[in-house]
Structure 1
Amino acid sequence: MSNPSNNKTHMDAYWMPFTANRQFKQTPRLLKSAKGMFYTSDDDRQILDGTAGLWCCNAGHSRSEITQAVAQQIETLDYAPSFQLGHPIAFELANRLVSHAPDGINKVFFTNSGSESVDTALKIALAYHRIRGEASRTRFVGREKGYHGVGFGGISVGGLVNNRKMFGPLLPGTDHLPHTLRIDLNAFSRGLPKHGADLAQRLEDIVALHDASTIAAVIVEPLQGSAGVVLPAEGYLQTLRDICDKYGMLLIFDEVITGFGRVGNCFASQEFGVTPDIITTAKGLSNGAVPMGAVFVSEKIEQTFMTGPEEMIEFFHGYTYSGHPVACAAALASLGIYERDKLFSKAHQLGQYFEDSAHALAALEHVRDIRNYGLVAAIDLESREGKPGERGYEVFTECFRRGLLVRVTGDIIALSPPLIIEKSHIDQLFGTLSEVIATCK
C-alpha cells in the first residue's frame, strides 16, 4: 500500500472534514494503527492518545473483543433492514443499554451518529407535542457555544458561529440561552464552578418572550465539549429541569460526548443528578469502532406515540442503517468491556489525580484558565494579539511532534483520554503538555 504522505497527489481527492485542507496536505499528520492508549504514526512514532480519538474510544483502541464480535457478526448477518423487520441483536442491545440509563429512561431509537441522534430527538419532541394536541410547540431553545452536530437541526440549536454562518437562516423559531463560561468569576475552578447557576433563569426570559405554548424543548450539553470544556455551575442543570417542568417543555441532554463514562457513571445526567426527558448519544456507544448513535427517551414519551390503529406506523422517521447488526455487535462488545473493567467509574477513581495534574499547569505563562471534571479537562491559553488560535495550534502540532495527541479549539487545548488511562499515562500527558506550553511564547 502506498503512503500518501510520500506522494502529495495521493491526497488531493479527499476533502477532509473540519480541517484546513491546504495547510494539512503541506505537512500531513497521519495515523496508521492504534492499540490501547497509543496511535502509531506513519513514521512509526508512538502517539499517546489524549483525546480518545475524537471523544469516542473510551475503552482504548483495537480491543480484540470488539474486533472478534464484529468479524463474527459480519460473517453471520452483515445487514438486515429495520423497517418492518428486525434482528435479535438490536433488541438485545436496547435492553442492555436501558439497564445503564437513568431511572425512567427506558426506550431506545437507533441512529448512526451524534448528528442524527440530535435531529431524531428534535423530531421526537415536535411529534410528541403534536400528538398531545399542542402542535403550537415548534420552537427549540439551545445555548450559545453549544455543539449538537452538523445536521440542519443540530446547527440551528447549536451556538458555534463558524458552524452556522455559512448555511442560511436554518430552522425557524430557535432561541439560545447564554453560555456558562464565566472565567471572570470561575477561573481555575476544580469540578463544577460555584458561580453562574443564575444563568439558567434566562430561560424564564425566553419563555416570557415567546410564550411557553410555542416551545417544544430545551437542548443542552450537560458539559459542553466542542466549545472547549464549558461546565455548568452547581445547580444550573436542576434549574433548567425545574423551569421545563413548570412550562411543559421537554429537556434534552446531548450526551454524545459525556455518555459512557466520560465524567463518571454511564451518563452525566446520573453524575449531576438531573434526569432529562431525552438523551442523545453516539461516540462511546460503540467505542468508535463502527458508526452508531442512539436516542434514549422516557416511557411516557414513547407511549404517547403508541396510539391509533396497531398497524399504523407511529413515527415516520428512521435510517437505512438504524440498528445495523455489525454496529450492534460492536456496541454490545463495548458494553461488555465497560462493565467487566468497571470503566464507568474510572473517572471517579482517577479524577482527582487527573485534576491535580491539570491544575499543576496553572503557573505556566499564557495559561488563563483550567477547567476539568472527571476525565476531561481544558487548558485555556491567552491569544496572541491579532492572531487568535495561533498559539493553540502551535501547542497542538508540537505535542503531536513529541508524541501526544490533544484537541485544539481556538486557543483551548481539550483533553479526554481513553478511560483505560493509568497514572503513568497522565504523567506523560501533562508532562509533555507542560513542556510544550512553556516553549510556545
Structure 2
Amino acid sequence: MTPAPAVLAGPALWPAQAHVPSVLGRQLVIERGQGCYIWTVDGKKLFDATAGLWHANIGHSRPELARAAADQMNKLETYHIFGRFVNDQALDLAERLAALSPISDSKVILNSGGSDAIDVACKLARRHWQREGRTTKTVILSRQYAYHGLHAFGTSIGGLDFNREGYGTESLVPETARIPLHDLEATAAIISEIGADNIAALVTEPVQGTGGVHPPREGYLNGLAELCKANDILLILDEVITGFGRTGTMFAAERFGITPDLLTFAKGVTSGYAPLGGVLVSPRIWQPFYLDDAATPIFRHGATYAGHATAAAVAMANLDILEREGLVERVKDLECQLEEALQDIASRRPSVSEVRVYGLLAGIALDDRYDAVAVTDLLIDRGFVVRPLRGNTLQLSPPFVTTDDELLALVGAIDDTLAEQEQR
C-alpha cells in the first residue's frame, strides 16, 4: 500500500513509539515549560501530569540547572572516563550516588540513560557468572508487562510482547524468559523448569510503569528477592522510573526493604535536564574486577558520553534541589492526597475498574466500555496531559513540585471527563 500524500509530506522527524499515520497532523509541538506546565507553539497551556516521561520531578525550566550546565560548559563541556582519564564532575557525582545508594559500598557505572543502564546491567550479570566459571548461567528473567527500554537487551527482556515482535526471533538477545506479574509459586516453577544453574539474573521494576502502573502485591518483592538468593540468581532492580524520590524514598528499594545486586537509574537523577543514567553495583559484583593482579579481568563497558561532565553537573544541581526543598518527603504527602481523591472517583464512577497508586505514580484502569486513548485526548482539550498505557489505563506521575490545588484540579478534570463519557 502506498503512503498517503499527507504522510509523505510530514515532518522529517520520525516520531517515537507511534503509529505514524495516526499522529501526523495531530502532534502537539511543545516549545516551552515552567514548573508543572508546558506550552505548545500555538499557545495552549497544559498541566504536565506525566512529568514528561516520568522524569520532570523538579518541574520544568529551573534556572539553577541552566546555570549549572552553562557554568560547567564554560569550564569543560566534558571529557571521557576511559582508562586513566576521568573528569572531576563524574567523580563527584559517583561519590554522591554511592552515598545515597541502597546498596552498601556500591560502585557506580555512568552512561546516557535507562536503556543504556539495562544493557550494561544485563551484560554485567552474564559477565559475572562467566568470570565465576559458571558458564551455563546466561538466561535473564523478567516479568510479564515489564518495560526495560528498547535497546537490544531491553527489547529482549520486555514483558510487553508488542515491543519484542517483528525482529525475526522471539528475543533479539537469546536466552531470556518471562515470569508472571505477581505469582511467586509460578515463578519458582519456571526457575525449576529452566534450571537455576542456567539463570544469570532476574530484572524487575519495583513498581511497573509502562505496563500499566502495577505496584507489587504485599510481600511480593521480598519473596522474589528470597527466590533469587535461594537459587543464586542476581537481582537487578530497574529504578529508572522509581529512583530519586518517585515512591517517597530516594530509591524504592528502601521503601520495600530489599537490597539488589544491581540497580539501574536514569530519569530522576537529572529530572530530565540532561541525558544521564547508570548502574549501582554491589561489592559481590565489582570487587573481582578491582583485584591488584595482572590476571584481573576487564569489564568492557563505556560509551563516549559515559560520565559526561555537564550532565553530571546538572545531576548534582538536581539532587541539591531535591534535598533543599524536601521534595522526596513531599511525595509522601501528595501520595496520600492522590490515593484518597482517586479512590473517591473509583467509588462513584462505573467507568473506573481499578485505581493503583504508589508514591506519586498512579494508574486508573478504565472499564472496557471506555477508551483510555479517547479520554486522554479529551483531557488535553481541558488542559491536562495524561498518558494511555497498556490495560486501558490512564497514567499519572506529576512533578514533585505540584501544589495541592493543582493535584485537585487534575483529579477534578479526570472526574468531569469520565462523567461526560458515562452520560453518552
TM tier, smaller: over 0.9
Q: CA deviation at 1:366?
A: 1.6
Q: CA deviation at 1:352?
A: 1.1
Asked whether the equivalents of residues 353 and 365 of structure 2 are also in contact (C-alpha less than 8 Å), the reply is: yes
Does 1:400 find its partner at 2:398?
Answer: no
Q: Secondary structure at the match of 1:48?
A: strand
Letter of the 2:178 counterpart: H
Between 207-216 and 112-121, report the one with greater CA deviation.
207-216
1:88-107 CA distance string (max 9 Å, x none): 11010011111111142521
Letter of the 2:198 counterpart: T
Q: CA deviation at 1:310?
A: 5.3
The match for 2:157 is 157
1:108-159 CA distance string (max 9 Å, x none): 1011111110010001101111112212110111111000000121121111
Asked whether the equivalents of residues 240 and 266 of structure 2 are also in contact (C-alpha less than 8 Å), the reply is: yes
Q: Distance in 2 between matches of 1:145 and 1:365?
A: 25
The match for 1:40 is 39
Q: Distance in 1 between matches of 2:288 and 2:295?
A: 16
Asked whether the equivalents of residues 372 and 393 of structure 2 are also in contact (C-alpha less than 8 Å), the reply is: yes
Structure 1 pair 22–10 and aligned structure 2 pair: CA distance change class (3 A): same
1:64-95 CA distance string (max 9 Å, x none): 11110001111111121221211111010011
Q: Secondary structure at the match of 1:251?
A: strand
Does 1:430 find its partner at 2:415?
Answer: no
Asked whether the equivalents of residues 261 and 346 of structure 1 are also in contact (C-alpha less than 8 Å), the reply is: no
Does 1:113 find its partner at 2:109?
Answer: no
The match for 2:230 is 246
1:406-428 CA distance string (max 9 Å, x none): 11114210100001112101111
The match for 1:194 is none
Per the normalisation by structure 1, the TM-score is: 0.90
The match for 1:418 is 399
Q: Secondary structure at the match of 2:248?
A: coil
Unaligned runs of 5+ in 1: 1-6, 181-198, 385-389
The match for 2:267 is 283
Q: Distance in 1 between matches of 2:7 and 2:324?
A: 44
Alignment of 1:249-288 (within 5 A): 249-288=233-272
The match for 1:178 is 180
Unaligned runs of 5+ in 2: 1-5
Letter of the 1:229 counterpart: V
Q: Distance in 2 between matches of 1:138 and 1:113?
A: 24
Asked whether the equivalents of residues 201 and 239 of structure 1 are also in contact (C-alpha less than 8 Å), the reply is: no
Q: CA deviation at 1:211?
A: 1.4
Could you say what the CA RMSD is over the residues aligned between the two structures, in angstroms?
1.8
Q: Distance in 2 between matches of 1:348 and 1:213?
A: 41
The match for 2:19 is 20
Asked whether the equivalents of residues 103 and 280 of structure 2 are also in contact (C-alpha less than 8 Å), the reply is: no
Q: CA deviation at 1:301?
A: 1.1
Q: CA deviation at 1:326?
A: 1.1
Asked whether the equivalents of residues 244 and 328 of structure 2 are also in contact (C-alpha less than 8 Å), the reply is: yes
Q: CA deviation at 1:10?
A: 8.1
Structure 1 pair 348–317 and aligned structure 2 pair: CA distance change class (3 A): same
Identity, in percent, stands at 35
Asked whether the equivalents of residues 51 and 416 of structure 1 are also in contact (C-alpha less than 8 Å), the reply is: yes
Does 1:343 find its partner at 2:327?
Answer: yes
Q: Secondary structure at the match of 1:440?
A: helix
The match for 1:409 is 389
Q: Secondary structure at the match of 2:242?
A: coil
Q: Secondary structure at the match of 1:23?
A: helix
Q: Secondary structure at the match of 2:106?
A: strand
Q: Secondary structure at the match of 1:321?
A: coil
Aligned length: 412
Q: Distance in 2 between matches of 1:9 and 1:215?
A: 46
Q: Secondary structure at the match of 1:218?
A: strand
1:355-390 CA distance string (max 9 Å, x none): 111112212132111111111111101224xxxxx7
Asked whether the equivalents of residues 365 and 394 of structure 2 are also in contact (C-alpha less than 8 Å), the reply is: yes
Asked whether the equivalents of residues 335 and 357 of structure 2 are also in contact (C-alpha less than 8 Å), the reply is: no
Q: Secondary structure at the match of 1:370?
A: strand
Query: Which one of the candidate residues 300, 307, 320 is aligned to 2:304?
Result: 320
Q: Secondary structure at the match of 1:99?
A: helix
Q: CA deviation at 1:29?
A: 1.4
The match for 2:129 is 129
The match for 1:138 is 138
Asked whether the equivalents of residues 223 and 258 of structure 1 are also in contact (C-alpha less than 8 Å), the reply is: yes
The match for 2:59 is 60
Q: Secondary structure at the match of 2:147?
A: coil
Q: CA deviation at 1:34?
A: 0.3
Q: CA deviation at 1:202?
A: 2.3
Q: Secondary structure at the match of 1:276?
A: coil
Q: Distance in 1 between matches of 2:322 and 2:294?
A: 38
The match for 2:345 is 361
Q: CA deviation at 1:347?
A: 1.9
Q: Distance in 1 between matches of 2:153 and 2:108?
A: 20
Structure 1 pair 315–401 and aligned structure 2 pair: CA distance change class (3 A): same
Asked whether the equivalents of residues 247 and 358 of structure 2 are also in contact (C-alpha less than 8 Å), the reply is: yes
Structure 1 pair 236–11 and aligned structure 2 pair: CA distance change class (3 A): same
Structure 1 pair 153–103 and aligned structure 2 pair: CA distance change class (3 A): closer
Structure 1 pair 348–413 and aligned structure 2 pair: CA distance change class (3 A): same
The match for 1:211 is 195
Structure 1 pair 365–207 and aligned structure 2 pair: CA distance change class (3 A): closer
Q: Distance in 1 between matches of 2:295 and 2:385?
A: 52
Asked whether the equivalents of residues 137 and 213 of structure 1 are also in contact (C-alpha less than 8 Å), the reply is: yes
Q: Distance in 2 between matches of 1:119 and 1:80?
A: 23
